[in-house]
Amino acid sequence: MTEQTPLLGGQVVISKPALQQLFDALRTAGYSLIGPTVREDAIVYDEIAQLTDIPIGWADEQAPGTYRLRRRDDQAHFGFVVGPHSWKRYLSPPSLRLFATRRTGDGFSVETSNDPPPRYAFIGVRACDLVAIAVQDRVFVEGPVQEPHYKARRERAFVLAVNCTEPGGTCFCASMRTGPRCSSGFDLALTELDDAFLCEVGSALGAQMLSAVEWRPAGAFELSRARQAMADALTRMGRGLNTHNLPELLYDNLEHPHWANVAERCLSCANCTMVCPTCFCSDVQETSDLVGETAARVRVWDSCFNREFSYVFGGHLRPNTRARYRQWLTHKLASWTDQYGVLGCVGCGRCITWCPVGIDLTQELAAIRGEGQL
C-alpha cells in the first residue's frame, strides 16, 4: 500500500504511530515542524521533532480567565484545543527585522538579507486557525500591497490540520461557521479516532507526503465514526454568539453605556490582541547601533489597547479603556467586514480564556444586543 499516492480529496486511515512517518517525511523534505507541545503548564506551538513531543494524553480546561492542563484518561494525541499561541507567531513573527540600512559617506544604503525564509510544517492546525490564516492572508497578501516576509513564509508552509472532536470551554467556532471541521486551506487534515487517524488529502503536496506513510483506504465505518464525532462536536461548543447583523449592531451602538461597563473590568493589558489569531496591528521601530552606523526597521506586534497606539501630535486619541475596547471589538466584528469582506473573529475563544479578568466578548455582545445579563 505504501507505494501508492492517495487521491486528492480522498480519505485514508493511518495508524497513530504512523504519524511519525509523516513527521519524518516532512523533515526530510526540509520542513521545520512546528506543533503543539507542553511548556510552562500550557500547550504552545514550538519546534517539534518526534511524535512524543506533542501533548499526548493531555487536555486543556478553559473558561473565562482560566486555563489548566490535566491528564486525560486516554492517550489521545490531539485531545486539547488551542492555547495562547497561534500560527501568526510564525507567519508574522512578534518581532521581525524588515530590512537594515547602513550610513554611507553621502547618505545610506539598504542591506539585503540573503537568508531564505523558514519553511514550516504546521502540525495540528485547527479549523478556526485555518480560517484565521486565511483572514491574515487578506491583510498581508491579498490587498494592494503584499508583505514579502509573510508571503514567503505562507507560500512555503505545509499545513497538517486536525478536526476538533472535543471543543473547549471558550470555543464558539460553530457560531462563526469556521469549524469544528476543517473545510479548506490544508494539505492534510486528521480526524482522531480511538485507535487511528482518518486523514483527508487536501492538496497534491499532502498526497505526495503521504506516499512515505503507511496508509489504507478509509472504510465506511471510519468515515461514519468521524462524521458522527464532528456532528457531536458541533453541539458541544463552550460558547455561542449571535452573529446576526453584527456590523450594524456595533456601528449603531458606538455610544452604548455598556462600553463603560466593560471598561470598569478591562485592564487594557492587550492580552486578547496578542493571543488573537487574526489581530495584525504592529508598530515599526528603528533600532540602531550606538554610533548610528547601522540601523534596522523592526516590526513588532502592537495592540489597539496600548496607549501609544493612538498617539498623534497633540495627544492620544483613545486615552480611555472604554474607547480602546470599543475600537477592538468594533474592528473585529464590524469594520473588518468593510475592510476585508469577512469578520475578524473566528470563534477560537483565546481572548476569553487569556483575559486576566475573564471578559467574554460573546457576553459583551449579548449585552449590547440587549440579550444578555451580566
Partner 1 sequence: MNSTLAKGHWSPATGHPMVPQPAVITHVQPEAHGVMTYTLGFRDPAVGEAYRFHPGQFNMLYLPGIGEAAISISSDPAEPAALRHTVRIAGNVTQAISRMEAGGVIGVRGPYGNSWPVDRAVGNDLIIVAGGIGLAPLRPVIYHVLRHRADYGKVTILNGARLPADLLYPQEYDDWRSHDIEVVVTVDRADETWKGRVGVVPILFYALRPDPKRTTVFTCGPEIMMHFVVYEALARRVPKDRIYLSLERNMKCAVAFCGRCQYGPTFLCKDGPVLSYDRIEPFFTVEEF
- Give the x-and-dash track for 156-185 against partner 1 (CB under 8 A): x-----------------------------
Closest to partner 1 by CB, 211 or 228: 211
Q: Within 122-151, which residues bind partner 1 (CB under 8 A)?
A: 139-140, 143-149
If the CB atoms of residues 148 and 219 are measured against partner 1, the closer one turns out to be: 148
Closer by beta carbon to partner 1, 114 or else 235? 114
**3-state secondary structure labels for all residues of 136-150:** HHHHHCCCCCCCHHH
Q: How far is the CB of 295 from partner 1 (least distance, A)?
A: 4
> Hey, what's the torsion of the CAs at 126, 301, 172, 266, to 10 degrees?
150
Q: Is 286 in the site for partner 1 (CB under 8 A)?
A: yes
Q: Does 186 bind partner 1 (CB under 8 A)?
A: no
Residue 8 binding partner 1, by CB under 8 A: no
Other Cβ atoms closer than 10 A to 337: 14
Binding of residue 98 to partner 1 (CB under 8 A):
yes
Which regions of 211-323 does DSSP assign to beta strands (E)? 216-217, 282-288, 294-301, 311-312, 315-316
Q: Which of 127, 128, 101 is nearest to 112 (CA)?
A: 101
CB of 345 to partner 1, least distance (A): 16
E strands within 66-131?
Answer: 66-71, 95-104, 107-111, 120-126
User: 3-class DSSP state for residue 250?
Assistant: helix
Given the rule CB under 8 A, which of 54-62, 68-76, 108-116, 121-129 is the region that contacts partner 1? 108-116
Q: Which single residue is written with the C-alpha cell 542591506? A: 111
For residue 363, give the C-alpha cell: 457576553
- Closest C-alpha to 345, from 282, 272, 285: 272
Q: Is 32 in the site for partner 1 (CB under 8 A)?
A: no
DSSP E strand boundaries for 259-293 = 282-288
Residues 82, 128 contacting (CB under 8 angstroms): yes
How many angstroms separate the CA atoms of 139 and 137, rounded?
Answer: 5
Q: How far is the CB of 256 from partner 1 (least distance, A)?
A: 11
Q: Which is nearer to partner 1, 244 or 292 (CB)?
A: 292
> φ, ψ for residue 10 (rounded to 5)?
-80, 165
Which cell numbers hold the place of 343?
A: 469578520
- Based on CB atoms, which residue is closest to partner 1, 69 or 281? 281
Considering only residues 323 to 342 of the shown chain, the ones binding partner 1 according to CB under 8 A are 323, 327, 330-331, 335, 338-339
364 binds partner 1 (CB under 8 A): no
Contact 66/353 with Cβ under 8 angstroms? yes
- State the nearest-atom distance from the C-beta of 16 to partner 1, in Å: 23
Please tell me whether residue 153 binds partner 1 under the rule CB under 8 A: no
Within positions 242 to 281, which residues make up the interface with partner 1, using CB under 8 A? 251, 254-255, 280-281
Q: How far is the CB of 356 from partner 1 (least distance, A)?
A: 23
Instruction: Show the site string, 211-230: x = touches partner 1 by CB under 8 A, - = not.
Output: -x------------------
319 near partner 1, rule: CB under 8 A = yes
CB-nearer residue toward partner 1: 175 or 310: 310
The HSE-up count of residue 362 (CA atoms within 13 Å, CB side) is 24
Helices 258-265 and 361-369: crossing angle in degrees, nearest 10, is: 160
Pairing of strands 11-15, 216-217: antiparallel
Question: Which span (52-60, 112-120, 125-133, 178-186) binds partner 1, by CB under 8 A?
Answer: 112-120
Among 285, 356, 357, 371, binds partner 1 (CB under 8 A): 285
Under the criterion CB under 8 A, does residue 25 sit at the interface with partner 1? yes
